[in-house]
Amino acid sequence: MKKIILTGDRPTGRLHVGHYVGSLKRRVELQNSGEYDKVNIMIADAQALTDNADNPEKVRQNIIEVALDYMSCGLDPNKSTIFIQSQISELCELSFYYMNLVTVARLQRNPTVKTEIKMRNFEASIPVGFFTYPISQASDITAFDATTVPAGEDQMPMIEQTREIVRRFNSIYGEALVEPDILLPSNQACLRLPGTDGKAKMSKSLGNCIYLSDDSDTLRKKIMSMYTDPDHLKVSDPGKIEGNTVFTYLDAFSKPEQFERYLPEYAGLDELKAHYQKGGLGDVKVKKFLFSVLEEELEPIRAKRKELEKDIPYIYEVLKKGSDDARQTAAQTLSRVKNAMKINYFDDAELIRAQSEKYKAE
């Protein structure tokens, strides 16, 4: 079986380092590994509209931001198909049929949807489109016969939902759809990178994000005001590592060789942690190290972005080409789905022949 990737992001803002370690960095590695027959990267504008229906301009503006973030991280339109969800109308058609295979109760149990409903204070006024977005996500994934979805932990319930839809579809209509697997980050700290305030998730509305496109000064300021151990008041106090955002970020980003470069007095992260726990290591020193570590990772991305920003029409050209390509793939899947569901009346000569025989016999 072919190995195919599909993944994507909602264009509701610039991408942050949580996106980066959760999925983006991995995608670039997978793209360059040569192990995949096809890599599809989708800007999920239609999904973004499910809870931003009254703010289409926000979604529209952020398409280019996300595309710039993608390409500055190394997603390469010569190797990956980068496209815009709304331009593939076949996805809506698939969703319409998948809706028959999912119950309202099942959607209500989806943990990600549950949390998001709470976060957005929807209560009784949940838009139907938002409520059903896990179904539309199943269309995104199956339309491309994706075997692999590199994504963060929060996407697990979506992939599970997709797998259920695929199994149900295949058992009713015959094997037409491919069951995908999620590919989670292998580093525990990257599964769900906390915000700079220590809150569980980086989110634009909480104002606790470090963006890939933040300049050096902004990055420094954000790191210097990061949440650490609130009881670690004096340098000599023993400090806690658990729930200490600066150390979680070091877990996610630091590489052994960076100790030699910036903190040669420590053999590695374990030794730094031990010193902090014992007492005698100040937050500022650890934060300065984190700044050097992140700066090393983000500076090349920033520089590439500056280059790409010089030719915006080219970025739109890339997205248009990607969308044209994606539409062709999705159309093939849709046709396979309609055949399986027996709603292919006009290209089924056998159906027409059998029906006319039936009437002749009467």
Q: Which two tokens stand for residue 15?
A: 């991408």
* 8 Å CB contact between 275 and 281: yes
27-46: contacts with ligand TRP (CB under 6 A): 44
Contact pick of 30, 141, 184, 281 for ligand TRP (by CB under 6 A): 141
334 in contact with ligand TRP (CB under 6 A): no
47 in contact with ligand TRP (CB under 6 A): yes
Stretch that binds ligand TRP, among 87-95, 147-155, 198-206, 228-236 (CB under 6 A): 147-155
Burial category of 172 from C-beta neighbours within 10 Å (exposed 0-12, middle 13-18, buried 19 and up): exposed
Q: Which two tokens stand for residue 325?
A: 């390509």
- Number of residues near ligand TRP (by CB under 6 A): 13
Instruction: Tell me the closest approach of the beta carbon of residue 315 to ligand TRP, in angstroms.
Output: 20
Instruction: Tell me the closest approach of the beta carbon of residue 42 to ligand TRP, in angstroms.
Output: 6
Q: Closest Cα to residue 129, out of 163, 86, 165, 83?
A: 86
2 sits in which H/E element: none
Q: Which is nearer to ligand TRP, 9 or 214 (CB)?
A: 9
Q: How many other C-beta atoms are found inside a 10 Å radius of the C-beta of residue 247?
A: 24
* 8 Å CB contact between 331 and 90: yes
Q: Which is nearer to ligand TRP, 27 or 232 (CB)?
A: 27
183-212: contacts with ligand TRP (CB under 6 A): none
Q: Which is nearer to ligand TRP, 237 or 325 (CB)?
A: 325
306 sits in which H/E element: helix 283-308
151 in contact with ligand TRP (CB under 6 A): yes
Instruction: For residues 81 and 144, give the distance between their C-alpha atoms in angstroms, rounded to a whole number.
Output: 11
137 in contact with ligand TRP (CB under 6 A): yes
When CB distances to ligand TRP are compared, the closest residue is 44
Q: Rounded to the nearest 10 degrees, what angle do helices 133-143 and 156-173 cross at?
A: 70
From residue 285 to residue 324, what is the string marking binding to ligand TRP with x (rule CB under 6 A)?
Answer: ----------------------------------------
9 sits in which H/E element: strand 4-9
Instruction: Tell me the closest approach of the beta carbon of residue 9 to ligand TRP, in angstroms.
Output: 5
Q: Which is nearer to ligand TRP, 6 or 39 (CB)?
A: 6
Q: Which is nearer to ligand TRP, 39 or 44 (CB)?
A: 44
Contact pick of 5, 7, 51, 102 for ligand TRP (by CB under 6 A): 7
66 in contact with ligand TRP (CB under 6 A): no
Q: Phi/psi of residue 260, each to 5°?
A: -55, -40
Q: Closest Cα to residue 315, out of 146, 143, 91, 62?
A: 62
Q: Which is nearer to ligand TRP, 101 or 143 (CB)?
A: 143
Dihedral (Cα; 55, 213, 223, 257), 10-degree rounding:
140
Specify which residues 211 forms β-bridges with: 16
49 in contact with ligand TRP (CB under 6 A): no
Q: Which is nearer to ligand TRP, 150 or 239 (CB)?
A: 150
Instruction: For residues 242 and 235, give the distance between their C-alpha atoms in angstroms, rounded to a whole number.
Output: 18
Binding stretches for ligand TRP (CB under 6 A): 6-10, 44, 47, 137, 140-141, 149, 151, 155
